Amino acid sequence: MAEPQAPGSTDADLVWLDLACDLAALCPPSESAFSVGAVIVAADGTRIARGHSREDDPKDHAEESALRRVPAGTDLGGATLYSSLEPCGRRASRPRPCAELVLDAGIRRVVFAWSEPDVFVPATGADRLRAAGVEVVEMPVLASRAKEPNGHLLG
């Protein structure tokens, strides 16, 4: 596999983030929300949960879908959340943005492929996570894959 493409990233990050991009392609299309995939991985490298936007509900974001699938009692302190898109810091469809859900779950590391464009709300998720002490790694080498299922929203 190629060398890591971003400071703080690993070869495993590329594999898991690639899976998140695959999951984004499974999302039902929407004119009012991005198609996003998310995977939560334990510190030992095992997958805990995964999800994608609109998987169970038309308003679901990928991160909340994945978090809903985490087995009860699982400690996420050493886990990494992989998301094809920067977790939202503001949200129009529900009161709690994904960055807040990630913080509440205790996840201390987030890796994403594509910074959220200011299409629906201002992009503040990565800054909000960093301000709370979460390690945030952006891997733009996979941004084009993350954008593919969202081309209709980008003009």
Which residues are catalytic, by number?
Answer: 63
Which residue(s) pair with 136 in the sheet? 110
β 80-85/37-41 pair status: antiparallel
One-character DSSP codes across 75-110: --TT-EEEEEEPPPSS-SSSSS-HHHHHHHHT--EE
Identify the DSSP state of 69: T
Q: How many residues does the chain have?
A: 155
Residues 123, 136 contacting (CB under 8 angstroms): no
